[in-house]
């Protein structure tokens, strides 16, 4: 939308010029500067008092703190590394959990229906992708090296943390991850 002063970018350039003129010359009235540079008086006054422009201010409608944003990105990265990309409902629950942690009562207002969509628009390196189902034969024919690397990593973690064999549980044939990797929407990092 173009106001009577012109586009936002044009007004910002003129405000910067007006601020430079105000600081370089003998102090002029702000009203005269606003008229000379054709900019809104209140915006010029606020900028001369040290206020930031809209493009320089942090957004006011962001519910997540920068630390929570970083934690959410780490969650997506970790899910990708595990080969279990985050589903949209999982990501929404993770966001809700992060918000609940910051709330003094422990119960933050529910995340909106379009939160994930808007969050993805603000974070172009994260994207929503339709996952394709995997064929059972392809999954079964996975390379032996991949399994060996996985169990070597498990053994190393058990050794590092001092986990005894009696403290582990074998999940063989319990139906764990049945249905994963099907045709569903996932969130992944580029």
- 36-55 pLDDT per residue, tens: 899 999 999 999 888 888 77
Q: Given this model, what pLDDT does residue 52 score?
A: 82
The contacts of residue 8 (CB under 8 Å, 6+ apart) are: 54
| 1 confidence band (pLDDT: 50, 70, 90) | very low
- Tell me, what's the pLDDT at 6? 81
CA distance 47 to 92: 38
Three-point CA angle 180, 175, 96, nearest 5°: 50
Cα separation, 53 vs 64, whole angstroms: 22
pLDDT in tens, 94-130: 999 999 999 999 899 999 999 999 999 988 899 898 8
């Amino acid at each position: 939308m173009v106001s009577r002063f012109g586009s936002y970018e044009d007004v910002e350039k003129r405000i910067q010029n007006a601020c430079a003129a105000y600081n370089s010359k003998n102090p002029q009235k702000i009203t005269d500067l606003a008229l000379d540079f054709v900019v809104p008086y209140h915006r010029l006054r606020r900028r001369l008092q040290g206020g930031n422009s809209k493009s320089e201010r942090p957004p006011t409608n962001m519910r997540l703190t920068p630390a929570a944003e970083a934690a959410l990105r780490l969650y997506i990265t970790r899910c990708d590394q595990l080969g279990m990309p985050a589903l949209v409902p999982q990501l929404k629950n993770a966001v809700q959990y992060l918000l609940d942690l910051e709330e003094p009562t422990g119960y933050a207002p529910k995340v909106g229906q379009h939160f994930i969509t808007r969050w993805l628009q603000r974070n172009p390196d994260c994207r929503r992708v339709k996952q394709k189902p995997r064929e059972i034969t392809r999954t079964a024919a996975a390379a032996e090296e991949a399994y060996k690397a996985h169990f070597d990593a498990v053994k190393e973690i058990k050794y590092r943390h001092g986990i005894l064999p009696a403290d582990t549980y074998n999940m063989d044939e319990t139906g764990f991850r049945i249905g994963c990797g099907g045709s569903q929407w996932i969130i992944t990092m580029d």
